[in-house]
Amino acid sequence: MKTQVAVLVTEPRPAARRRVPLLTTVGASLGLLVLLTIVIGPWLIGQDPYAIDIGNRFAGPGGAHWLGTDELGRDVASRIAYGARATALIAVGAVAIATAIAIPLGVLTGFLGGWVDLVVTRVVDLFFAIPSLLVAIGVIGLFGASVTTTVLALGLSYWPFYTRLIRSAVVGLRSRPNVDAARVLGASRLRVIRTEILTGLVPLVLVQTTVLLGFAILDEAALGFLGLGVQPPQASWGSRLAESREFILVHPELALVAGVPIVLAVFAMNLLSDSLRDRLDAKRTG
Amino acid sequence: MNDVKTAETVLRVRDLAVEFSLRGSVARAVDGVGFEVRAGEIVGMVGESGSGKSVTMLALLGLVPRPGRVVAGSVRLRDIELGALSLRELARLRGRQMALIPSDAGAALNPVTRIGSQVGEGLAAHLPELPRAERPARILDILKRVGLPRPEQQVRRYPHELSGGMQQRVAVAMGVQLGPDLLIADEPTTALDVTIQAQILQLLLDVREQSGTSILFITHDMTTVAEICDRVLVMYAGQIVESGPVVDVCTAPAHPYTRALLDAIPPLGGDPPERLTTIPGAPPDPRAWPAGCRFAERCRLREQLGNPDKCTSLAPELASDGAGRRSRCHFTGSAAEAVVR
Amino acid sequence: MLRYALGRVLLAVPLLFGLSVLSFVYVRLIPGDPVTAMLGVNSNPTVVAQLREQFGLDRPLPGQYGDWLAGVLRGDFGVSFRSQMPISTIIVDRIPATLQLAGAGLVVSLLIAIPAGVAAGMRPGSRLDSLITSATLFGLAVPAFFLGTLLMLLFALTLHLVPSQGYVPFADDPAQSLRLTLLPALTLGLAISPYLARLTRSAVVEVAQEPFVPFARAKGLAPRKISVGYVLRNALPSLVAALGLTVASLMAGSIVVEALFNWPGTGRLVTGAVTERDYAMVEALLLIYGGLFIVVNLVCELAQSLLDPRVRLT
């Protein structure tokens, strides 16, 4: 009699890990698509995003207007392509501001500890207590809605959370043996920060940059939708939403077309940050 | 329990093999393990970490975690072939016919559930016909049986409010409350102080005495095996390398690995030895078991025999001596032993 | 436990105080003068002076703050620069609508996120897990207004199952009120559930690694009993704490959803006050939203410790 094969556990074997996961490929392709839209999109479409043609309002897709025209007869495709530039600029600017505040503050508090840490952490807690969209709206309330305020508003609404993250990472890095070793070998604080702490932060900052870029694109759009972001007629993904919102009951397709690039761009950022995190985690655990 | 040898077989394992496939490579953590446990018997399973003893235990319970998988063999409890059961039938059997006593009860008890209701979960799952009103009495009864002091108070407590020894008693209570045929004790004393260890071992002996439960006792400690087991299985590199009655194995080990394990125990009484023997080297990689004997690299006997080719070229069989002892070594017993002495 | 609770409450007090200072200073940060900023540079100087006096803007700052805070503690947030009505009256008027939306949205998101997070977290790395994880990554990329527009297009404008926009107080017409709540609540709930599902998943993954989970299996307990009574129950404390932080997304989301569905809640007040430069109103709303967030998180932290018997002794 043959030996009976007992399969006591029915879970399927996981598929062998592919070198590059499918989701990373999707994310990278979408990211590339967005990048192409920003760089060569306006040129490729070849339409003026500000040319009004009242006689040709709400035209469907086709002909010279790939995605049709909006409520003023402007070319939707080129408004999205030009808008992509503005939105990308805003997102990058906002992340730069948040990073410029978070890294020095996080490193300072996390590395030094003591009363500096205590005071700054309390202030961060305070700002953390206000939902970030509200912080952004508050800033816009102060200076009025514009491209510059949107950058500032988003940058200022991300720093509390980012500072917390950097601080706890620095606290973790500070207690590593290589930092102790550097201190024992007589390296100055500044040198330790430069060689051990800052280099140790690189993975976290890389991941957070992609995460925050995604947030910033979403929030620029949300502010635009509320009429508090980039103001029409200036093209941006957010202002495009503000324009389309007025006609949402009669021409909801305009709002949908305006939303699709946002979804794709943010999805790309989420996929990239997720696979980046996986990869860096894998590296850390060996 | 003196007539263990003639008692009926409770657990019969044949050619059990478990594989873990990770990133393209396959590790055969358990490779052709076969043994029996008879009614009322305490069988020790000894081995270093990574020897396959824990995976064997999980395979018996049908709980090998992903990505591991039982690829061959048969596990038979009384007359039930476990491999033929559905997941649901297997779950119904676990905790009732076959129960586990965990290695660290403090971590294995649900931290947010009171002791009483936690013990009651097993009753609710396996004895739904038992009226709810009768559960508290059953719970107190079993806690009394395992010697938990003041059980009426303990049932209302949370696990973290109990001492380690009390937690382990609760875990034993959960294991024995439904009168299982087989108790699997997974290093049940490693997390405890020495005095408490002795109490828990005594408790296991009492359980066997009272209800004739068979116990598979998993440990890395030869001393504990010598204290409470009737028979012992020595595992190395996913295989059983020696098995037999505890007294025989401990006094005259047949396999060089068993001998090395015994040599590593500090002797009681007398002068302390100059140095304890340790086993040099590390166990082989389960993703690429060596062709010959898996212990060859670390084997002192092989060295003393002048490194015969047979050790590295031919895998030894688990040979039986016809009197209940088995050993997996080309040079076991007679001639070779004589040469070394 | 009582000491722990008291300590937590005491920690929240300076935070609330800081928030009040921040909201107060905020309005005084406005370049130039709030009244001029509101009325425009070419406004009548006598009107400006009159308004400044009315709002107490001509007095020293600490005095202004003291009066303002005393008023706030009595529930008096002053008068709206714009409508000249008491701010508290305006806000109290709007609160039921926002609570109805946020509550229903939270229920929707919990119904989606908890099962999804538990299913994914119980078997990390499985096919179901990667499916759910990818879905949350996509869900995080879908803005609430986009989702809401889609739902509106589908259920209101195409299938005509529910009205597209509007609000009726629940007390006036419960059935119609619920019908109108459906789409906004679904939008808000779907928008938040990816966050919540991810939080649930990571809490569940952590608990599922604890030795008591395989031991529960070895005891032969039913899978449902294990995932609910063991895994979810032990993940609950950290989930409740995470829920407190999700309130921020709930607030932000409701501002957008209210705008999309023309829902007369406090979120509309926020956007309205900022566009109309009604600074006293912005000040009050910052304080209320921030204060609510602090209090909700305090409650969640206390609930977290109540749910974990191990905290009680410390």
Q: How far is CA C40 from the centre of its chain?
A: 33
The DSSP secondary-structure symbol of B160 reads G
Question: How do the residues of chain C divide into helix, strand and coil, expressed in percent and rounded to 5?
Answer: 80, 0, 20
In whole angstroms, give the CA distance from residue C84 to residue A95: 39
Residue identified by tokens 């001509």 is C58
* pLDDT in single tens digits along all 314 residues of chain C: 677 788 888 888 888 988 898 888 887 777 666 677 667 667 777 777 777 777 677 777 788 888 888 888 888 888 887 788 899 999 999 999 999 999 999 999 999 999 999 999 988 888 899 999 999 999 999 999 899 988 988 888 888 888 888 888 888 888 899 999 999 999 999 999 999 999 999 999 999 888 899 999 999 898 888 989 999 999 999 899 888 888 888 998 999 999 999 999 999 999 998 888 888 888 899 899 989 999 998 999 888 888 888 875 44
Amino acid identity at B271: D
Both tokens of residue C94?
């709007």
CA-based nearest residue to A31, from A264, A230, A239:
A264
Which pLDDT score is estimated for A166?
A: 92
Which pLDDT score is estimated for A13?
A: 37
Looking only at the bridges linking them, the beta strands covering B68-77 and B9-22 are antiparallel
Phi/psi-derived region of residue C145, left when phi > 0, alpha when psi is between -120 and 50, beta in every other case: alpha
In whole angstroms, give the CA distance from residue B167 to residue B183: 17
Both tokens of residue C268?
């509309």
Residue identified by tokens 């409740």 is C240
- In the predicted structure, residue A115 carries a pLDDT above the cut 60: yes
Looking only at the bridges linking them, the beta strands covering B231-236 and B214-219 are unpaired
Put simply, the answer to whether B23 touches A9 (Cβ < 8 Å) is no
- Cβ–Cβ contact A9 with B under 8 A: yes
Which 3-state string (H, E, C) describes C102-163? HHHHHHHHHHHHHHHHHHHHHCCCCHHHHHHHHHHHHHHHCCHHHHHHHHHHHHHHHCCCCC
Angle (CA) C215 C218 C221, round 5°: 95
Which pLDDT score is estimated for A248?
A: 80
Query: Residues with Cβ < 8 Å from B209, sequence gap 6 or more?
Result: B1
Judging contacts by C-beta atoms under 8 Å, the chain B residues touching residue C210 are 107
Q: What is the ipTM of this complex?
A: 0.86
Which regions of chain B are under pLDDT 50? Answer: 1-4, 334-336, 338-341
Partner-chain residue, chosen from C211, C219, C234, that has the shortest CB–CB distance to B122: C219
Judging contacts by C-beta atoms under 8 Å, the chain A residues touching residue C123 are 11
Q: Burial of C74 by CB count in 10 Å (0-12 exposed, 13-18 middle, 19+ buried)? A: exposed
Long-range pairs for A151-154: beta carbons < 8 A, 24 or more residues apart = A151/A89, A151/A90, A151/A93, A151/A94, A151/A97, A152/A94, A152/A97, A153/A94, A153/A223, A154/A90, A154/A91, A154/A94, A154/A97, A154/A98, A154/A216, A154/A219, A154/A220, A154/A223
Which pLDDT score is estimated for A19?
A: 55
Do the beta carbons of residue A106 and residue A99 sit within 8 Å? Answer: no
- Assign a CATH topology to domain A77-285: MetI-like fold (1.10.3720)
- Cβ–Cβ contact A122 with C under 8 A: yes
Q: Which residue of C has its CA nearest to A214?
A: C141
Both tokens of residue C124?
């990390």
Distance from CA of A110 to the nearest CA of C (A): 21
Which pLDDT score is estimated for C189?
A: 95
In whole angstroms, give the CA distance from residue A150 to residue C60: 32
Partner-chain residue, chosen from A5, A10, A11, that has the shortest CB–CB distance to B72: A5
CA-based nearest residue to A189, from A204, A170, A169:
A170
Residue B189 half-sphere exposure, CB side, CA atoms within 13 Å? 22
Both tokens of residue C187?
């939008």
- A-contacting residues in C 266-305 (Cβ below 8 Å): 270-271, 273-275, 277, 279, 282, 285-286, 289-290, 293-294, 297
Cβ neighbours around C77 below 10 Å, total: 22
- Cβ–Cβ contact A285 with B under 8 A: no
In whole angstroms, give the CA distance from residue C194 to residue A94: 24
As a residue count, chain B comes to: 341
Please, what are the domains in chain C? Answer: 87-275 (1.10.3720.10)
Residue boundaries of the structural domains of chain A: 77-285
pTM of the model: 0.83
Strand order in the sheet with B80-81: B25-38, B9-22, B68-77, B80-81
Distance from CA of C265 to the nearest CA of B (A): 40
Distance from CA of C311 to the nearest CA of B (A): 10
In DSSP notation, B125-148 reads: HH-TTS-GGGHHHHHHHHHHHTT-
First to last CA, chain C: 7
As a residue count, chain C comes to: 314
Exposure letters A165-195 (e unless 16+ CB within 10 A, then b): bbbebbeebbeeeebeebeeeebeeeebbee
- In the predicted structure, residue A10 carries a pLDDT above the cut 60: no
Cβ neighbours around B266 below 10 Å, total: 8
CA-based nearest residue to C221, from B124, A9, B188:
B124
Do the beta carbons of residue B299 and residue B252 sit within 8 Å? Answer: no
Distance from CA of C129 to the nearest CA of B (A): 14
Do the beta carbons of residue B15 and residue B4 sit within 8 Å? Answer: no
* Among C8, C33, C142, C146, the residue to mutate for chain A (most A Cβ within 10 A): C146
pLDDT, one tens digit per residue, over A134-169 is 889 888 888 888 899 999 999 999 999 899 999 989
First to last CA, chain B: 37
Residue identified by tokens 């202004």 is C64
CA-based nearest residue to A270, from A203, A199, A202, A214:
A214
